[in-house]
Chain A
Amino acid sequence: MSMKPEAVFSCRDVHITIADKEIVKGVSLTVRPGEIHAVMGPNGSGKSTLANGLMGHPAYTVTGAITLAGADITGLTPDEKARKGMFLAFQYPVAVPGVTVASFLRAAVSAVRGGEVPVREFRKELLARMADLEMDPAFAGRYLNDGFSGGEKKRLEILQLLMLKPRFALLDETDSGLDIDALKVVAEGINTAATDDVGMVLVTHYQRLLNYVHPHVVHVFMDGRIVRTGGPELALELEEKGYDWLAPVAAAAGA
């Protein structure tokens, strides 16, 4: 067996509770550089809680151990995690009225890169990435997610992914609410961001996105646990059979 490179992201026995209710019941994941993992599961299985909890949502209590590029990030705040190279593409990005996409992104890029980015340079980069995602330049002047369609919100998440260049990205249901053309553009953005030194986890209900972004590892997530792990073929199997056939496995895991 060849030596595998050090994990870019790992979590060990992560439990997540909200208001005393345990939603995530012991999850371990190891993502190596260049790997794309898919976490697939039915609605209500706790996928989004896993994504938000790992990023450090203040409403969640997280136990277990989380590392990013070898460093322990378990107790860090969301902004500390982001500055260390972690990213979460939100399923439901919130609106921040009065703050333009451009000013928000410039602040975020400056924070993550650890220094003010010159305006001209920033603008050039922003417009190039927006062009990649087939976004109208006028988009930069709109207020953050304010009155955006579902598709526009998802594109903006991917724009942020491309601008912030994280080491590890969690993408929560990024395919939902996209028509087929938008899905292709978004997938292309994800593939661009998924370079050899980057790790990614796609959290998704459907196989749809996986036709364009090919995962190396597929995990089935049910009732707060990973109940099966396999290769890309597992996603196709789920597409064909749904999740029900794995219910007994999930039940056994919870027993």
Chain B
Amino acid sequence: MSTVPTVSDIGSDYSQRYGFHDPEDYFQRAPKGLSHEVVEMISRLKHEPEWMRTLRHQALDTFVAKPMPTWGDTEMLSQINFADITYFLRATEKQGETWEQVPENIKRTFDRLGIPEAERKFLAGVSAQYESEVVYHSVKEELTKQGVIFLDMDSGLREHEALVKEYFGTVIPPDDNKFAALNSAVWSGGSFIYVPKGVEVTIPLQAYFRINAERMGQFERTLIIADEGSKVHYIEGCTAPVYSSNSLHSAVVELIAKRGARIRYTTIQNWSNNIYNLVTKRALAYEDAIVEWVDGNIGSKLTMKYPAIILKGERAHGEVLSIAFAGPGQHQDAGAKAIHLAPNTTSKITSKSISKDTGRATYRGLVKIRKGAHGCKTSVQCDALLIGSAARTDTYPTMEIAEDKVRVEHEARVSKLGDEQLFYLRSRGLSYDQARLMIVNGFIEPFVKELPMEYAVELNRLIELELEGSVG
């Protein structure tokens, strides 16, 4: 009975809650633009091993050689000025293990975003990235005792080089796509997680990503390895100040779920509407493993992101549950991919999008079943809700099924925020705004109920702000 939307928070807006920024007073800052010098500087500053330095330089060459995508929102993509972006910003000299060790202005930022409070209440570990690097990192001692590694990626490389070298870039090679190459060249920060055999991390680990500077690029790199029979839930959130100029966020996230392991990866993406969010996320699921992407895209100017699961071992199961909210001027080009390589693997894709006013939501998905992968089951469901006559939605569901003995379900539905629904709710005393919010909250309920309670409340509030149209 607790899902009654309240309107008490109306009036607060993105600019006030997330859109503020600190002075850009940084410890180290790469010159603007992309070059081998910048790549070299990043690698040197991080004291990286030779193989990583080489990988970065080669990836930069790949990035330069690869053309921009010829699909998706090519018009918006063409507006990115790669030369006008800062690719590396080190805000502080040292990472804090307690919030007291974090520089005052940065700590204040995360306070305002509620991160220390969330950590106290319900998280097993927290990583807070500010610009290019993680400025605060903490993990509950009992996890460390169980052998769980939860580090920022830079520390992961320093402290567990062999493990990183074995898996880094194996799920998403640097030449996978132009933006994966860019990330591989200039990556910084992100999370490195290893969960040993049979260990179940019962409370979530969280990373929070904050861009503060103007015309900034953030390129975090995350690698999660869940060893046989282990279990982990990782949550990421992101925000940035509101600027009139554009910034770029291009992450690469690789998940490896070994036999019988289970990974849930939850994202609440709430970048300000001047951020290009071009992310590659992919998981490998071995025998009997389960991988779930729970992906919420509320913010950004343009998001292009299609979390993928490669079902490599028999009976592996993959799920992608996503919502996208596209307000005026936003384009959420999101989707999912399920690649069935082994027999008896199953996948489920549920995509919900809301387009409001001139907002545009695109579902782009791929389900592939290899010849010989018999007994596979897959279901894809796309629901789009349009608010206003200018709102737009497109669906591109690609199915490549090379095996006969499989079950494939696909359903796509587009609905308009209905006059009849509004009239019904309003005839019961709910104002137009309340009625609209109730319908939208109902629409995203299947997604919201998969979130930890605190995030569900936050997401409902974000949607409410978006509907109000007060988001800058």
Instruction: Report Cα–Cα, A90/B426, bound state, in Å.
Output: 13
> When chains A and B are docked, how far (Å) is the Cα of A160 from the Cα of B444?
25
Interface flag for B445 (CB, 8 Å):
yes
Q: Which residues of B contact A104 (CB under 8 A)?
A: 425, 428, 438
Asked if A203 CB lies within 8 Å of chain B CBs, one says: no
Could you tell me if B4 and A106 are in contact, using CB atoms closer than 8 angstroms?
yes
Partner of A119, one of B1, B5, B427, B429: B1
Q: Decide if B421 touches A107 in the complex (CB within 8 Å).
A: no
Residues in chain A near residue B419, CB distance under 8 A: 58-59
Query: Does chain B have a CB within 8 A of A123?
Result: yes
Residue pair B427, A99 in contact (C-beta under 8 Å): no
- With a CB–CB cut-off of 8 A, which chain A residues contact B418? 94
- Docked-complex contact B438 and A94, CB < 8 angstroms: no
Q: Which residues of A contact B443 (CB under 8 A)?
A: 97-98
**Chain B: which residue is nearest A126 at the CB level?**
B1
Q: Given contacts A58-B419, A103-B3, A106-B4, is CB(A98)–CB(B444) below 8 Å?
A: yes
The binding surface of chain A is classed by DSSP as helix
B164 to chain A minimum Cβ distance, whole angstroms, is 42
CB contacts (< 8 Å) of B424 on chain A: these are 90, 93-94, 96
Q: Could you say which interface size class chain A belongs to?
A: 35 or more
Is the beta-carbon distance between A112 and B428 smaller than 8 angstroms? yes
- The minimal Cβ–Cβ distance linking B441 to chain A, given in whole angstroms, is 7
| B322, chain A: closest CB distance, angstroms | 16
User: Do B429 and A79 have beta carbons less than 8 Å apart?
Assistant: yes
Contact A98 B429 (CB under 8 A): no
CB-based nearest B residue for A110: B4
Closest approach, in angstroms, between the C-beta of A91 and any C-beta of chain B?
Answer: 12
A139 within 8 A of partner (CB): no
Which chain A residues border B425 with CB–CB below 8 Å?
96, 104, 108
- CA–CA, A104 and B429, complex, Å: 11
Are B1 and A108 within 8 A (Cβ)? no
A3 to B318, CA, bound (A): 74
Q: Are B1 and A79 in contact (CB under 8 A)?
A: no
Asked if residues B438 and A83 are in contact (CB atoms below 8 Å), the reply is: no
Q: Of all chain B residues, which has the CB nearest A52?
A: B423
Inter-chain CA distance A102–B419, complex, in Å, is: 22
Q: Which residues of B contact A98 (CB under 8 A)?
A: 441-446
Which B-chain residue is minimally distant from A141 (CB atoms)? B1
Closest B residue, CB atoms, query A163: B428
User: Do B445 and A108 touch across chains, with their CB atoms under 8 A apart?
Assistant: no
Q: Within the complex, which residue of B1, B420, B421, B444 is in contact with A106, where a contact is CB–CB below 8 Å?
A: B1
Q: Is the CB of B426 within 8 A of A78?
A: yes
How many residue pairs, one in A and one in B, have C-beta atoms under 8 Å apart? 99
Is B430 among interface residues, defined by CB-CB distance under 8 A?
yes
- Selected from A79, A94, A143, the residue in CB contact (under 8 A) with B432 is A79
Separation of A93 and B439 alpha carbons in the complex (Å): 15
- On whether the beta carbons of B429 and A83 are closer than 8 Å, the reply is yes
Whether A164 sits at the interface, judged by CB under 8 Å, is: yes
> Are B431 and A99 interface neighbours, CB within 8 A?
no
Is A100 interfacial (CB-CB < 8 Å)? yes
Cβ-defined partner of B439 (8 Å) among A78, A96, A111? A96
Q: For B448, give the chain A residue with the smallest CB separation.
A: A98
**B383 nearest in chain A by CB position:** A97
- The answer to whether B441 touches A79, judged by C-beta atoms less than 8 angstroms apart, is no
Could you tell me the distance in whole angstroms from the C-beta of B374 to the nearest C-beta in chain A?
A: 34
Indicate if B58 sits at the interface (CB-CB under 8 A): no
B35 lies within 8 A of chain A by Cβ: no
Question: Which residues of the other chain, A, contact B5 by a CB distance below 8 angstroms?
Answer: 107
- Most chain A C-beta atoms within 10 Å of own C-beta, residue among B1, B420, B428, B430: B428
Asked whether, in the complex, the Cβ of A111 is within 8 Å of the Cβ of B430, the reply is: yes
Give the one of B421, B424, B443 with max A CB within 10 A. B424
Chain B contacts of A103 at CB under 8 A? 1-4
Q: Which of A59, A82, A99, A106 contacts B426 (CB 8 A)?
A: A82
List residues 403-444 of chain B with CB under 8 A from any CB of chain A.
Answer: 418-432, 434-435, 438-439, 441-444
Q: Mark B440-472, 1 if CB is under 8 A from A, else 0.
A: 011111100000000000000000000000000
Closest 9 CB pairs of A and B: A98-B442, A98-B445, A111-B429, A99-B442, A108-B428, A82-B429, A112-B429, A78-B426, A79-B426
A-B contact pairs, 30 of them (CB 8 A): A55-B427, A56-B426, A56-B427, A58-B423, A59-B419, A77-B426, A78-B423, A79-B435, A81-B427, A82-B427, A82-B428, A82-B429, A88-B427, A94-B420, A94-B424, A96-B424, A97-B443, A98-B446, A99-B438, A99-B439, A99-B442, A99-B445, A100-B1, A104-B425, A104-B438, A107-B5, A111-B434, A112-B428, A119-B2, A160-B428
B interface residues, Cβ below 8 angstroms from A = 1-5, 418-432, 434-435, 438-439, 441-446
